[in-house]
Amino acid sequence: MLTLAVSVIGFVSFAQPDDDLTPEEKAYRDSIANLNETNAAIEKSQTAYNAGIELFKQKKYEGAINKFSESISADPNFTPAYYNKAIAENKAEKYKDAIKTIDALVKKKPGYAKAYFQRGRAYQGLNDYLSAEKDYQKSIQLDAKNPKAYYNFGTLKFLQKDYESAAAQFSKVIELSPKDAYAYNDRGSCYRMMEQYPKAIADYEAAARMNENLAFVLNNIGTTKTKMKSYDDALKAFNRALSVDTKFYLAYNNRGVTEMKMDRYEDAIKDFTKCIEINPNYAPAYSNRAGAYFKAGKYKEAKKDADKAISLDKNFADAYVNRGMAKEMLRDMNGACEDWHKAKELGSEKGKNYNSANCSN
């Protein structure tokens, strides 16, 4: 952002006292003084604004916010400072502050579509989905050609599990921006959630063609192929994902799940172990490895992994199911029933079935 070149206009100071100035001369003198003061304020505002832009580029959001605030204080009518301050506040996850900043901006510029988009992001950050939806709709109403508004609206609908509406928003993004790999990926995820697996695969593969370095897209192909019971194709997709990103722990975990379905328990254990090495705090990998150990007849190891998964996530229903199964084989039936009962309380259908079939409560 270039600093405005501001010319400060001076005037000649006459020797005569004020009483000797005509009303016209006094008015001219005052107007020049006011202009000089205004120009100085504009220059101060622009200097602070430019400093804020540079700090934002460096991801120093707190400093950027302070500079944009200085810009606004010097020139309260300089609307770009409000807008960029709100962006920085969203980046810093100061969502309430961003809302206040945009409130002030839209009072000055009520037809500014991007302002409503940023306020929608802030409301979404606060999980106020209704307010976010209204702002995204307002942004689209004011500017129907902005793909970002449709994209965020789509993510909002996805979070609300309205997958059909989300897919429609991502379709609009694709219409406006046909090379947006992320929009194809996210629409694919909508189709996957609706169990329309062939359509999901088509979108994921389109995203992969547009950007072959998106490991998460290849991982999504793998998980969808697993749901379709195309296990060999799933493994190929996970292998591709890991060739792009060797530290992608989710792909190791998901490849392990697929190997479990193929009764390849030792391979699955290796993949879950690799996942844990990369991310030691990922509870599902411990729970999954517990299931693999159980299938391999290693019940003590299974219980130990289930213990770890539960220590990381007290509400992890599958881990209680797996620990209950291990306890049953270790002849701790009371402990098994306690775990299955807990899993049932957490909404696990497996926990409910095991508890009903094996326990008195």
Chain segment 23-33, per-residue pLDDT in tens: 554 444 445 54
Torsion angle (degrees, nearest 10) of CA 341, 347, 353, 354: -40
HEC states along 2-64?
Answer: CCCCCCCCCCCCCCCCHHHCCHHHHHHHHHHHHHHHHHHHHHHHHHHHHHHHHHHHCCCHHHH
Evaluate whether 210 touches 246 at the Cβ level (below 8 Å): no
Q: Contacts for 4-8 with beta carbons within 8 Å, 24 or more apart?
A: 4/42, 4/43, 4/46, 6/39, 6/40, 6/42, 6/43, 6/46, 7/39, 8/36, 8/39, 8/40
Q: Which tens digit of pLDDT belongs to each residue from 269-307? A: 999 999 999 999 999 999 999 999 999 999 999 999 999
Q: Which tens digit of pLDDT belongs to each residue from 68-105? A: 999 899 889 889 999 999 999 999 999 999 999 999 99
| Comparison of pLDDT for 260 and 38, the residue scoring more | 260
Q: How confident is the model at residue 42 (pLDDT cuts 50, 70, 90)?
A: confident
DSSP-derived letter for residue 226 is H
pLDDT of residue 6: 33
Query: What amino acid occupies position 60?
Result: K
DSSP-derived letter for residue 292 is H
For residues 259 and 77, give the distance between their C-alpha atoms in angstroms, rounded to a whole number.
Answer: 62
What mean pLDDT is predicted for residues 333-357? 94
What values do phi and psi take at 187, rounded to 5? Answer: -65, -35
pTM over 0.85: no
CA-closest candidate to residue 81, choices 59, 102, 111: 102
Residues 6+ apart with CB under 8 A from 258: 222, 226, 231, 234, 235, 238
pLDDT of residue 45: 83
For residues 161 and 49, give the distance between their C-alpha atoms in angstroms, rounded to a whole number.
Answer: 40
Q: How confident is the model at residue 44 (pLDDT cuts 50, 70, 90)?
A: confident
